[in-house]
Amino acid sequence: MEGTYLDPVTHAIIGLSVSKLAVNSISLSNPATLGIVAGSLIPDIDIVMQKWGDYAYLKNHRGATHSVVGIIISSLAVALILGGIFKLASIPLLFMWTMLGNISHVFFDIFNCYGSKLLWPFIKRKFSFAALMSFDPLLVSILAGCAFLRGNVGKICFVVLFLYMVMRILLQMSLKRKLVKTYGEVAERINIFPSVSGIFKWLFVIEKKDENIVGVRNFLRKKEKELVTLPKIDKDIAKRALESPLGRFFKDFSPVFHIEYERRGGINTYKFIDLRYYMKKNFLHHAILVVDDNNRILTSSFNPYSINRRNILTSRDLKHYTGAYVLRNENA
């Protein structure tokens, strides 16, 4: 599931690092360590949604379990379980340690460009600083040093971790200033995301009135390059696409996307493209809507990770995204 989340191993190492920093222990016989590590993993319990397919999983991923409400509830649940195992342990302290691990998980997820619904259910949009790669081998190496190296070397790793996070933010800000100088007069919005293909590569999306420009900045080569230019479709056509249940879902799924349109023989095809992830000359996530001239939906599909990974959606799947369309053979 490349391009969407930090993997469980990374989060476990984060939990061990936090445990070492907070209680100077990474012993799994220590209830504090167990609480922190369990807390650092528990938000991704929403992976069980994968049983119902890619759509169900990605629609719910980093939602309730990654919110403040979810952090409190799951931390309390883990604390009560550990309290039942370690009879002498303090439930309030276990709750605090578990919450610390939980917070560390969500903190790093927010720095990833996929983001988290931190204020669910009050605000349902994802919050993201988009400063970290989906999987960053250098970050994992630093975190491993924090967790497993002892003495002054281990302490230095924590300093290096802080400096690395600051460096990522400064690189992002530097690129933003550069892009404002280059595109500021014509851009409606400038978006910057970590590339999935290199630690020092950043993807940028320039939203203009008539087109979207996707490019990359390589800080090692000290230059940016436009990769692809995507002409925007007519605003009325785009509006119709976004009023569909699939369009509303995709708008909720991705904060930066593009719509392509094709009409052939009375059949209208809309392709939604998530612009946050670009690798091997392709975008990662897509959705395809096919409707007739009466706005009857012939096909709705969600294509995550690859355009060829097709998940056909029904009205039941999209019931939370009401729109001005009806599904063929399912209309009243």
Pair 98, 15: CB distance under 8 Å: no
CA angle 309, 8, 72 (to 5 degrees): 110
Between 4 and 33, residue with greater pLDDT: 33
Question: What whole-number percentage of the chain has pLDDT above 90?
Answer: 82
The model's confidence at residue 3, banded by pLDDT at 50, 70 and 90, is very low
| Beta-strand pair 267-274/286-292 | antiparallel
What is Dmax (Cα atoms) for the chain? 73
Query: pLDDT per residue over 171-187, tens digit each?
Result: 999 999 999 999 999 99
Distance, in Å, from the CA atom of 46 to the CA atom of 214, rounded to the nearest integer, reads 31
- Alpha-helical (H) ranges within the chain are 8-23, 31-41, 54-60, 68-85, 91-111, 137-148, 151-183, 235-243, 245-253
Pair 18, 36: CB distance under 8 Å: yes
DSSP per residue over 254-315, as a string? -SSEEEEEEEETTEEEEEEEETT-EETTEES-EEEEEEETT-EEEEEEEE-SSTT--EE--T
Phi then psi for residue 267, to 5 deg, are: -110, 130
Pair 120, 64: CB distance under 8 Å: yes
pLDDT at 109 over 80: yes
Which pLDDT belongs to residue 326?
A: 66
Distance, in Å, from the CA atom of 270 to the CA atom of 302, rounded to the nearest integer, reads 12
Query: pLDDT per residue over 276-316, tens digit each?
Result: 999 889 999 999 999 999 889 999 999 999 999 999 999 88
Scan for tokens 């090692």, then name that residue: 220
pLDDT at 1 over 60: no
DSSP state for residue 332 in the 8-state scheme: -
Mean pLDDT of 55-78: 96
Q: Average per-residue pLDDT in the chain?
A: 92
* Tokens linked to 189: 């919005």
Residue at 260: amino acid letter: E
Which pLDDT belongs to residue 6?
A: 59
* Tokens linked to 199: 């630690």
Residue at 155: amino acid letter: K
* Tokens linked to 178: 């550069």
Please name which of 104, 125, 129 lies closest in space to residue 62, comparing C-alpha atoms.
125
Please name which of 299, 287, 285, 289 lies closest in space to residue 330, comparing C-alpha atoms.
299
pLDDT at 42 over 90: yes
Which pLDDT belongs to residue 8?
A: 83
Which pLDDT belongs to residue 331?
A: 42
Dihedral of the alpha carbons of 97, 100, 106, 109, in degrees to the nearest 10: -100
* Tokens linked to 143: 């975190």
Query: pLDDT per residue over 113-129, tens digit each?
Result: 999 999 999 998 999 99
Please name which of 267, 243, 320 lies closest in space to residue 55, comparing C-alpha atoms.
320
Phi then psi for residue 227, to 5 deg, are: -95, -45
Which pLDDT belongs to residue 327?
A: 57
CA 65 to chain centre: 14
CA angle 160, 165, 171 (to 5 degrees): 120
- Output the pTM of the full model: 0.91
